[in-house]
C-alpha cells in the first residue's frame, strides 16, 4: 500500500512560489500545460532533479515520467552530460559564430539519419517545423500544406488548427490571432486516414507544397500509424510532387538510434528534430536532401537565422548524448524497461477493470481513459478527461509525476530502475481503483 500524501499539506512553498509567479508570468507559467488547468490544483514547482526523480520546492520526491516532455532519455543530470556542459561553459556559453561542435553533432545526425544530407540547427521544435514548411513552399512554388488532426508541430501560425497537445488540453480548436487567409493554407486530414489525404491532393491538384506528419503521433496521446499509412503518404507526395516532412521532434532518437523513419523504413524529404538531440538543452534542427537544404541562406534565398542557433552548450550536450545513445545495447535495454512497464499497465487495467486502454510505441506510452482503442484525434477527444484528472492527482499524491494532460505521452528513460517501475505499477493499481 502506497500511502497518498495530503493534497494540500507539504506543498506550501510551491504554493507561495506559484502565487508570486501568477503576478509576473502569464498564468504563472511559461508554457500552458504546466499550469495544471486540465487536472486541477496547482503545479509542482521543481527545485532539482537527478536520474528518474524530481524534488519540488518543498522537498517532496517524485518519480518522473515527463522527462522534460521526452527530451531526457538518459534521465536528469546524467554525469557525462553535466560534465560536457560544465567544460564548455568554462570556454564560453555563446559566441554567435561557427564552432567545430556544430559540425560534430551534424555529422552524428547524418550518420544516423541518411535522409538528412545537410542540417540546420535552430533553438526550438517550432522553429524547425516552421522553417521546414517555408523551405518546402519555396522549393515547390506552392502554398498549401497538409497536416493531420491531433498532430502538434509547434505554435507557428500554420499549425494551430486541430493541433492536439496543449491546444487539446485547453480545449482550443484553433488560435485567435492567426489570420484567416493564412489558416486557409493549411488542410487537415484525420490521422491514419491516407484516403482522406489523397482526396485533399485531388481537390487541390498541383497546389500542395508539403505534407507534414508525426510518424508516431505523440501529441494527442500516443497513437501508432496503421500498417501501410506512412508508405501511402510517401507515395502520395512522390506522385503529386509534394514534399514529405517527418516531424520527429519527439520520435527522433527515442524509438531507436535514428528515428521512426529508420524503424519504419520510410525516407522523408525533410525531417525536423528536437528534444533528445540537445541532451536537455534548447536545440532543434531541420534537415533533408542536399538540393533542398542548399536553398536555405546563405546558399539560397530562403531566409532563416538565429543568434543562439548552434549554441555551444547545446552542441556539447548533444554530442555527449549521442555518444551514450550509440553504445551497444542502449535501445534494447530501454525497450525491455518500457515493455515491462507497458505490460504492467495492461495487467493493472485487467486487475482493476478500469475503463481505459494502454498504448505503447517504444518508450512512449499513454493511458487513454477510453474503452475503445484510439487511432485518431476524434477517438482521443472522446476520452474521459475528468477521470484522467482524478487519476493524475491520485498518482501525484503517491509520488508519481505524469504529464498533466490526457493528450500527452508518458516517457520511460534509461534512468528508470526496475524498482521504480514496480513502485509506479503499484501506484497505478491503487490510483485506478480510486477512479474506476
* Residues catalogued as catalytic: 152, 247, 275
Strand partners, 223: 217
Contact 128, 273 (CB under 8 A): yes
Peptide bond into 400 cis (omega under 30): no
Question: Residue 169: CB partners within 8 Å, gap ≥ 6?
Answer: 32, 33, 37, 38, 404, 405, 406, 407, 408
Of 274, 325, 289, 258, the residue nearest 116 (C-alpha): 289
Of 233, 154, 158, the residue nearest 191 (C-alpha): 233
Of 384, 395, 406, 396, the residue nearest 429 (C-alpha): 395
Question: Residue 107: CB partners within 8 Å, gap ≥ 6?
Answer: none
Rounded distance between C-alpha atoms, residue 175 and residue 193, angstroms:
25
In 141-198, the DSSP E strands lie at 144-149, 186-190
Contact 272, 284 (CB under 8 A): yes
Contact 406, 220 (CB under 8 A): no
Q: Measured on CA atoms in the order 12, 17, 23, 29, is the torsion positive or negative?
A: negative
CA dihedral 65, 67, 73, 77 (to 10 degrees): -120
- Nine cell digits for residue 398: 503517491
Contact 190, 196 (CB under 8 A): yes
Left (φ > 0), alpha (ψ -120 to 50) or beta: where does 259 sit? left
- Nine cell digits for residue 192: 491514419
- Nine cell digits for residue 198: 489523397
Rounded distance between C-alpha atoms, residue 319 and residue 20, angstroms:
37
* Chain Cα centroid distance, residue 410: 10
Q: What is the DSSP letter of 302?
A: B
Rounded distance between C-alpha atoms, residue 285 and residue 400, angstroms:
32
- CA atoms within 13 Å, Cβ hemisphere of 83: 6
Amino acid at each position: 500500500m502506497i500511502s497518498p500524501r495530503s493534497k494540500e499539506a507539504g506543498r506550501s512553498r510551491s504554493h507561495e512560489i506559484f502565487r508570486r509567479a501568477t503576478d509576473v508570468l502569464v498564468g504563472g507559467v511559461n508554457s500552458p500545460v504546466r499550469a495544471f488547468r486540465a487536472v486541477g490544483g496547482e503545479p509542482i514547482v521543481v527545485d532539482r532533479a537527478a536520474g528518474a526523480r524530481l524534488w519540488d520546492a518543498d522537498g517532496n520526491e517524485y518519480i518522473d515520467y515527463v522527462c522534460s516532455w521526452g527530451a531526457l532519455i538518459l534521465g536528469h543530470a546524467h554525469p557525462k552530460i553535466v560534465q560536457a556542459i560544465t567544460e564548455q561553459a568554462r570556454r564560453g556559453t555563446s559566441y554567435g559564430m561557427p564552432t567545430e561542435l556544430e559540425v560534430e553533432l551534424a555529422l552524428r545526425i547524418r550518420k544516423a539519419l541518411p535522409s538528412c544530407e545537410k542540417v540546420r540547427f535552430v533553438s526550438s521544435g517550432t522553429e524547425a517545423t516552421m522553417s521546414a514548411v517555408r523551405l518546402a513552399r519555396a522549393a515547390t512554388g506552392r502554398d498549401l500544406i497538409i497536416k493531420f488532426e491531433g498532430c502538434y508541430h509547434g505554435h507557428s501560425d500554420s499549425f494551430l488548427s486541430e493541433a492536439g497537445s496543449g491546444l487539446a488540453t485547453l480545449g482550443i480548436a484553433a488560435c485567435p490571432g492567426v489570420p484567416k487567409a493564412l489558416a486557409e493554407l493549411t488542410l487537415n486530414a484525420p490521422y491514419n486516414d491516407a484516403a482522406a489525404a489523397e482526396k485533399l491532393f485531388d481537390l487541390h491538384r498541383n497546389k500542395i507544397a508539403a505534407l507534414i506528419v508525426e510518424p508516431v503521433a505523440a501529441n494527442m496521446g500516443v497513437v501508432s500509424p496503421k500498417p501501410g499509412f506512412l508508405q501511402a503518404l510517401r507515395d502520395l507526395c512522390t506522385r503529386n510532387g509534394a514534399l514529405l516532412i517527418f516531424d520527429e521532434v519527439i520520435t527522433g532518437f527515442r524509438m531507436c538510434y535514428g528515428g521512426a523513419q529508420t524503424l519504419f523504413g520510410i525516407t522523408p524529404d525533410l525531417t525536423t528534430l528536437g528534444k533528445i538531440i540537445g541532451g536537455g538543452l534548447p536545440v532543434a534542427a531541420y534537415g533533408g536532401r542536399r538540393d533542398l537544404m542548399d536553398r536555405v541562406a546563405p546558399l539560397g534565398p530562403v531566409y532563416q537565422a538565429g543568434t543562439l542557433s548552434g549554441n555551444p552548450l547545446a552542441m556539447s550536450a548533444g554530442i555527449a548524448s549521442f555518444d551514450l545513445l550509440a553504445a551497444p545495447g542502449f535501445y534494447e535495454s530501454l525497450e525491455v524497461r518500457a515493455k515491462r512497464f507497458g505490460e504492467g499497465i495492461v495487467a493493472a487495467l485487467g486487475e482493476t477493470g478500469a475503463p481505459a486502454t494502454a498504448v505503447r510505441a517504444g518508450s512512449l506510452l499513454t493511458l487513454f481513459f477510453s474503452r475503445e482503442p484510439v487511432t485518431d484525434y476524434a477517438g482521443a477527444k472522446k476520452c474521459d478527461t475528468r477521470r484522467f484528472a482524478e487519476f493524475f492527482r491520485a498518482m501525484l499524491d503517491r509520488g508519481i509525476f505524469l504529464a498533466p494532460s490526457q493528450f500527452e505521452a508518458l516517457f520511460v528513460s534509461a534512468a528508470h530502475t526496475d524498482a521504480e517501475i514496480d513502485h509506479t505499477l503499484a501506484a497505478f493499481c491503487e490510483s485506478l481503483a480510486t477512479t474506476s
